[in-house]
Structure 1
Amino acid sequence: MSEKFRPKFHFAPRAGWMNDPNGMIRVDGAYHLFFQHDPDSTLHGPMHWGHARSTDLVNWEELPVALYPTELGTCFSGSAIETGNGELKLFYTAHQRHGDRDFQTQCLVHADRALTTFASEPGNPVVANPGIECFRDPKVIWHAGTARWIMAVTQGQSIGFYSSTDLIDWTFESAFGETEGRHSDGPWECPDLVAMRAPDGFEHWILLVGIGSGAYGHGSGGQYFLGQFDGHRFVNANTPETELWLDYGRDSYAAQTFFDRMGAAPVSIAWASNWTYARATPTQAFRGVMSLPKEMHLVETGQGLRLAQRVPASVKQAFAALAGPTGTYRQDIAVNLAVGQQTNIALFSEQAPHFIVQRISGASATIRTIRAGVTGMPDFAHDYAVDLAYPAEGPLALELYVDRGLVELGSSDGLVWITNLFFPEHPAGEVAIVTREETENA
C-alpha cells in the first residue's frame, strides 16, 4: 500500500493504530518487534499486540496480531524474555477501566519458539495491583548477580522493581525516581533496565524511562538514568536534578531494547511520535511509526559517562543503496564553523531551514530545530535549541536520515539525536545546506 508519508526503512503497520514498541526480543537470528496496536482503527482504542519480524533490522515482515484483549482487560505494553532452557515468555499489562479510573495488573503469556502461538498463564495476573492507578509496562530481565528475574514496572511517578525465581511469584524489592530526573503531571512509563560495559570495562546500568508530558522538546520524550543495580535497588550515579535525554526531538518515546542472549550491544527502538498530537497525524490507512534501531554504547565525556546511540551498519547500508529522489536518504554533513557562523539545513525543497547549527564559542555549539505548524495538529510547530560540544579539532559531524518526512539527525558520535516528524508537501524534495554569518537572516 502506497501513502505519501509511509516510510521505507522505519517500521509502520499496514493498517490501524500503533504506539509503544514492546516485547522486543532477538531469537534464532530474528528480531521480533511487538507493538501497541489497534488493528481496527487509526485512533488509540482497545490495545492488542501487533507483531513484526526482521533478520537485518531493515526489512520488516508484519505478522498476525499476537495478543488480544481478554477478560482481564486490554493488552498494554510489556516485554519478552528467553529462559535458560530456551522457553519464550511475554509479559504485559492487562488494562481495565473501573468507572473513571484505570485498573492494571501484570500478566504472563507462554509462547512457542517461533513466536506464532501464545497461551495465557492460568494463574494470571502474576503481579496483582498494589493499589496504584498507574501500574504498568513490565520490563523483565535476567539479573545474573542474584540469579533472579527482575521486573521494572511503572508506579506512577517512580519505577518499581520486583524479583522472581520462577516468573510466577514476584516479590517487591524497591522503587526509584520520585525525586530524580524530570517529572510532569503525567506518570513515568515504559521502563527498561540494561547492563552495559563502560570503556574501562566496568559494568554500569542504564534505566530508560518515558515521560508522557513535559519532556525536553515539549510533550512526551525519553530520559535515562545511569547508575548501579544490585538486584534490589537502583542507585543513580548522578545528582537527582541531572536530566539525561535519549533524544532531544519531539518524536522519540517509549524506547525499548531487544532481549538478546547473544550478549551483543543493546539495540533500541522508540515510537516516533508525541502524545500531544499523535492522534491527528495526516496518514490514511495507518497511524504510527517506529524510529530507526540504534545500538547503545557508553562513552566518556567531560560530564562523565553518557549514553551514545549509533545506527547499525545494515541500516546505513540500506539507505546508501537507494538512488534517485525517493524521499528516503542518508547524508553525512561535515560542519566547519568559525565562532559566530551557522549552517542552515533546509529539507523537502523548502526555503526556510529546519535545522540551524551555530558555533557559540570555541568549544560549544547549538542545533536549533524548527518546524512549521500543520492544520489540525495542535502544538505541532516548534522552535528551540539543543546544546552540544564543538570538537576541538576538525568539523562537527552530523548524520541525517530522512524517510518520507520522518527525520533523525545525529551528532557528537551518537551522543545527541533529534527525531522529528514532518508532513511536507514534497517528501521527496531536496536538501539544501548553506553556511553563513550569524548576523545574516536565516
Structure 2
Amino acid sequence: MVRIARVSLVVLLAALAVFVPASPAIAGTVADYPEFPYPATTYSEPFRGQFHFSSQAGWMNDPNGLVYANGLYHFFYQHNPHSLEWDTMHWGHAASPDLVHWTQKPIALEPDVHPGTLFSGGGIVDRDNTSGLKTGPLDPIIVFTNTNGVSIYYSNDNGRSFQPYDKGRKQIEIPEESRDPKVVWDAARHQWVMVVWSDRGGRGVDLYTSPDVLHWTFASRYAADWLFECPDLVPMTLNGTQQWVLTSATSEYVVGSFDGRTFRTDRPQPKKMNQGTTFAGGTFYAAETFSNAPDGRVVQMAWQGGNRGSSWTGNATFPAELRLVDSPDGPQITRTPVAELDSLRADSRSWQNQTVSPGSNLFGGILADTYEITATFDVASATAAQFGFALHSRSDGSADRTVVYDRAAGTLYGKPLAPTNGEVTMRLLVDRGQLEVFGGDGRFSVADNVNFDSAAVSQGIRLFATGGQVRLKNAKFTRLSTSWGTAQSTLESNLAGPWHAAGGSWTDTSGGKQAQSTGDAFYLSASTAGDAVYQGDVRLDTAQAAGLTFRAADDGAGYTANVDTSGVVKLWRPGRDIATYATPIAAGSTHHLEVRTTGSRIQVLLDHGTTPVIDATDDVFASGRFGANAYHGTATVQNLNTGPGGLDAFTSGAWTARGGTWTTTPDGLRGRSPDNGFYLSDRTGTDFTYDGDVSVTNGTAAGLTFRAAADSTGYTANVDSNGLVKLWRPGRDIATYATPIIEGRTYHLTVRTTGARIQVWLDHGTAPIIDATDSTYPSGRFGVNGYAGNTLTQHLAIT
C-alpha cells in the first residue's frame, strides 16, 4: 500500500515517482453518497487493458476486501477518483459475475462519509450472520480498514452502500503503527481470524480471533523482517492436509500451521510467488485473495502500478487460481489464470512438432492486439542459445517486448525456470498495457506492465530462435476479446443485459442512466415479456419527456408511458397517443411510474398512487423488450424493475417530494437529502395509528411524518443515529428517547394520535417510548422524512 505519511518517502519515490497529486483530492458528503464521479469511457484508450481491470478513471492501488457475495465477485481497491496520483484514499468498487467481465460501480467507502483512515483492508461474507448485522435477504459484506487499529463497515445491499459499525470507532486499538487487516474463516474452530500488519519493534503481523467479526481477542504475533504490509492468511490443502499460507505485499510467503491462536512454520525463509517488480508501484504488489470463492477456490489479484493512461493510473493482475504443491524445497504456491478466461476466446491457431530456426517464423501473418500464447519447447534436444516470442513486432525487426528463454542461464524473461522433463512451457497473456508470463505448471509467474503499440503495423508476433534450433512440441495462439461493457455501472435493474441504445447517447451518472437526445431515444434491455408489472424512476433534467418503454422491438417501437413537461402523463406508441392524464410535471422533477399490462389492457400509475391515472386498451404490440425513453433533452432513469417489489404503502393518490430525491428500489423507498427532505402522500388524517419501517442507510435520521401541510410543515417521529428516537415539529423537539440507533439497521415505528396526545412505539414494543402532547397541528398529510443522509422506508400502513 502506498502510504506517504507512514512509509519511507525515499523508498517510495524511488519505486514510483508520482506522489504529488495533480489536483486536490475531494472527500464527499453523505447526501451525495455513493459517489460516481467518472467520465464516460469505451475502455479503448491506448494502453488500457482489455481484460485486465483498471479503474474507469482516477488512481488505483491495492486490492481491498475481495469477496464473492450474492452471485457476484466484488473487487474493492485503494482509489483516488479525483486525480491520477495517490491522495485521500477511497475504496473503489467493481463487480463481476465471472472474474473476467468487470463493471465499475460507485464508490464503496468515501472519506467524510465513512469515518477513519480508509487504507487497505480485507472483507468477508457473513453467510451465517454471525455478526447479527443482516437486515434483509442478502448476505452481509463486511470490510475492515483503518490504521493503528481496525474499524468495520458493512453492506446489506450487495455492496451498493456501506455503513460504519459503531460509527466507525476502532474495534481493535493498536498503539503501534499498523494497517491492512485481513480476515479469514477458521472452519475447524468455528471462528474468524484477523491478521494485521504492525510494527511492534519490527515487522510482523498480529493475529486476532472472533466469534462474530465484531469483538476481537488478541491471539499471537508472528514477526519476520520480510513481512511488510498487506498480509494475507490463507488456508490451503496439500496432500489432503490443511496448511496455512502467510503472504506479504512483496509477494513473499511462508507455509505453516495454525492452531487457532498461533501461526508457526518450520521453513521461515520466504519464497516469492511472482517474479515481477514486487515493490509499491511495481508490477506485482499487495496481492489479496477472494473470500468465499465458490468451490473452495483460492483466487488472487494484485496491483500493477506501472500502467497509466490519459484518465487512469494502475491496474490489477488477471485473476489467478492458487494451489499448493510439493517441491524439492517444500510446499510451493502455483499461480494459474482462472479458467473463466475461456469466455474471451475468439479465433485460434495451433501447431504441433515444428522446428524453430533462425530466420523462420511460424507466427508470420498473424496480427493481434490482445491474445494468449501457450507453447511447449523441447529443451533437451535444442541447439538454440535462446528462443521465444517477439511481441507486437514490426517489419523493421523491432518489437515492444521480447519473451526469451535462455538455455545457458536457465531463465525465462530473465527469471530462473528450470526445464521439467527436458521441456519448457510458457504461457503469455498479452494485453494493451500488461504482459503476464507463466511457466512450470504455474510455479513460475511474472507480471509486467508494457505499453504495447496497438497500431496495425505493430501487431505482429515473431517466434524465433538464435544460435541454433529448437523443437516446438506444440503451440496455440488465441485472440482474446474485450471484457468491458457487459453490465450496468449505475443503473439498478433486475432486467437482463446486454442493454443497447436506440437513439441518443446514454451515459452513467450517480443518479442512474442519463440520456441526451434531440428526438426520441430508447435504452433497451434484453428482457422481454407480454404481461408484466414494470416500474421505474425518471428524472426530467432538460428533457421534455421521459418514461418507461415496454413490449418494444430492437429499435424502441412499442409502448411508452412517460411524464411530459407539457403537463401530462402519456401512454403512446409510434403514430398514436393512446391516452393522457393532465397533471403538473415540472422540469427537474423525479417521478415514479408503474405500468401493468394484461393482454390488451394497459394501466399506468404515477408516484405511488394506488389508482391508475391511465387505464386503456391497445393490442398492436403483444410482447417485447423492456427499457426506457427520453425525448428532446436530458433525462435520467433509475431502478427499472419488473415484479411487484417496490414501496408497500397505504392507499393514496400521487405522492410529492418536498426536499431531497426519492426513488424506489425493490427494497422500498430510498431518500437522499443534504438536510430535511420529505415525501408526502395526499392522504390526510386526524386521529390514527401510523406504522412503518425506516432505516438510516448513511447519515443522521429517518422517520414518519404526519398531520403535515402540503409544504411538509407538521410532526415527524424519527430514529436518529446520534442515539435517539425523536418526536419533533419545525422549531421544537417535543420529546426524545435515548437508545442506540445503528446505521443500516431497520427500525419499526408506530405513531398513535388522539387529539393533542401523540404516542410513539419502537420495534413493536408493548409500551410507548414517547407519550407527549402538542396541539399545533390537528390534521394533515402522511409521509416520510429523511435528514442529512440516505434513508430507506418500507411497509407504511394507516389504521
| TM-score scaled by length of structure 2 | 0.46
Structure with higher Rg: it is 2
Give matches, 1:177-196, under 5 Å: 177-179=223-225, 182=226, 188-196=228-236
Q: Which has the higher contact order (CA 8 A, sep 6+)?
A: 1
* Secondary structure of the corresponding residue to residue 259 of structure 1: coil
Q: Which residue does the alignment assign to 1:227?
A: 256
Q: Which residue does the alignment assign to 2:309?
A: 283
Q: Report Cα offsets for 1:142-187 as digits up to 9, x if no partner.
A: 11222221111111321111111222221211121325xx36xxxx
The count of residues paired between Structure 1 and Structure 2 equals 385
**Distance in 2 between residues matched to 1:23 and 1:282, nearest whole Å:** 23
Q: Which residue does the alignment assign to 1:162?
A: 208
Q: Which residue does the alignment assign to 1:219?
A: none
**Distance in 2 between residues matched to 1:175 and 1:72, nearest whole Å:** 28
Task: Give 1:168's aligned amino acid.
Answer: L
Of the three residues 44, 61, 74, the one matched with 2:86 is: 44
Q: Report Cα offsets for 1:91-146 as digits up to 9, x if no partner.
A: 33225xxxxxxxx331111211422121101253344442212x111101111222
Change (3 A) 1:72 1:412: same
Q: Which residue does the alignment assign to 1:9?
A: 51
**Distance in 2 between residues matched to 1:190 and 1:438, nearest whole Å:** 46
Following TM superposition, by how much is the alpha carbon of 1:322 offset from its aligned partner in structure 2, in angstroms? 8.2
Q: Which residue does the alignment assign to 1:203?
A: 242
Runs (5+) with no aligned partner, structure 2: 1-40, 130-138, 278-282, 350-365, 470-799
Give matches, 1:23-422, under 5 Å: 23-70=65-112, 72-86=115-129, 87-95=139-147, 104-122=148-166, 124-133=168-177, 135-156=178-199, 157-179=203-225, 182=226, 188-198=228-238, 200-211=239-250, 222-238=251-267, 240=268, 242-250=269-277, 251-260=283-292, 262-273=294-305, 278=306, 282-320=308-346, 325-337=367-379, 338=382, 341-349=385-393, 351=398, 354-360=402-408, 365-367=410-412, 369=413, 385-393=414-422, 395-422=423-450
Change (3 A) 1:261 1:318: closer
**1:429 aligns to 2:469 (yes or no):** no
**Distance in 1 between residues matched to 2:120 and 2:59, nearest whole Å:** 14
**Distance in 2 between residues matched to 1:399 and 1:340, nearest whole Å:** 20
Moved more, 318-327 or 146-155: 318-327
Task: Give 2:248's aligned amino acid.
Answer: V
**Distance in 2 between residues matched to 1:124 and 1:15, nearest whole Å:** 27
* Secondary structure of the corresponding residue to residue 441 of structure 2: helix
Following TM superposition, by how much is the alpha carbon of 1:425 offset from its aligned partner in structure 2, in angstroms? 4.1
**Distance in 1 between residues matched to 2:115 and 2:149, nearest whole Å:** 8
**Distance in 2 between residues matched to 1:420 and 1:261, nearest whole Å:** 26
Checking the alignment, whether the CA contact within 8 Å between 1:91 and 1:106 is kept in structure 2 is no
Task: Give 2:247's aligned amino acid.
Answer: L
Following TM superposition, by how much is the alpha carbon of 1:288 offset from its aligned partner in structure 2, in angstroms? 1.1
**Distance in 1 between residues matched to 2:159 and 2:407, nearest whole Å:** 50
**Distance in 2 between residues matched to 1:39 and 1:415, nearest whole Å:** 36
Change (3 A) 1:24 1:294: same
Checking the alignment, whether the CA contact within 8 Å between 2:236 and 2:323 is kept in structure 1 is yes
**Distance in 1 between residues matched to 2:372 and 2:223, nearest whole Å:** 38
Following TM superposition, by how much is the alpha carbon of 1:306 offset from its aligned partner in structure 2, in angstroms? 0.8
Following TM superposition, by how much is the alpha carbon of 1:259 offset from its aligned partner in structure 2, in angstroms? 0.7
* Secondary structure of the corresponding residue to residue 341 of structure 2: helix
* Secondary structure of the corresponding residue to residue 46 of structure 2: coil
Checking the alignment, whether the CA contact within 8 Å between 1:24 and 1:79 is kept in structure 2 is yes
Task: Give 2:467's aligned amino acid.
Answer: E
**Distance in 2 between residues matched to 1:418 and 1:429, nearest whole Å:** 22
Q: Report Cα offsets for 1:6-28 as digits up to 9, x if no partner.
A: 11111111111111111111122
Q: CA RMSD in A?
A: 2.4
**Distance in 2 between residues matched to 1:312 and 1:293, nearest whole Å:** 6
Following TM superposition, by how much is the alpha carbon of 1:261 offset from its aligned partner in structure 2, in angstroms? 6.1
* Secondary structure of the corresponding residue to residue 32 of structure 1: strand
Following TM superposition, by how much is the alpha carbon of 1:210 offset from its aligned partner in structure 2, in angstroms? 0.6
Change (3 A) 1:270 1:147: same
Q: Report Cα offsets for 1:34-68 as digits up to 9, x if no partner.
A: 11111111111111111111111111111111111
Change (3 A) 1:262 1:345: closer
Q: Which residue does the alignment assign to 1:382?
A: none
Moved more, 3-12 or 243-252: 243-252
Checking the alignment, whether the CA contact within 8 Å between 1:126 and 1:168 is kept in structure 2 is no
**Distance in 2 between residues matched to 1:339 and 1:54, nearest whole Å:** 46
Q: Report Cα offsets for 1:349-380 as digits up to 9, x if no partner.
A: 163663321223xxx8212x3xxxxxxxxxxx
Runs (5+) with no aligned partner, structure 1: 96-103, 212-221, 370-384
Task: Give 1:206's aligned amino acid.
Answer: V
Task: Give 1:178's aligned amino acid.
Answer: A
**Distance in 2 between residues matched to 1:39 and 1:290, nearest whole Å:** 16
**Distance in 1 between residues matched to 2:293 and 2:52, nearest whole Å:** 25
Q: Which residue does the alignment assign to 1:372?
A: none
* Secondary structure of the corresponding residue to residue 315 of structure 1: helix
**Distance in 2 between residues matched to 1:290 and 1:56, nearest whole Å:** 15
Following TM superposition, by how much is the alpha carbon of 1:405 offset from its aligned partner in structure 2, in angstroms? 2.6
Change (3 A) 1:107 1:313: same
Moved more, 414-423 or 312-321: 312-321
Task: Give 1:41's aligned amino acid.
Answer: S
**Distance in 2 between residues matched to 1:47 and 1:389, nearest whole Å:** 42
Checking the alignment, whether the CA contact within 8 Å between 1:320 and 1:330 is kept in structure 2 is no
Q: Report Cα offsets for 1:239-270 as digits up to 9, x if no partner.
A: x3x23112101211111111116442111111
**Distance in 2 between residues matched to 1:203 and 1:128, nearest whole Å:** 28
Moved more, 169-178 or 40-49: 169-178
Checking the alignment, whether the CA contact within 8 Å between 1:349 and 1:426 is kept in structure 2 is no
Moved more, 252-261 or 311-320: 311-320
**Distance in 1 between residues matched to 2:304 and 2:385, nearest whole Å:** 31
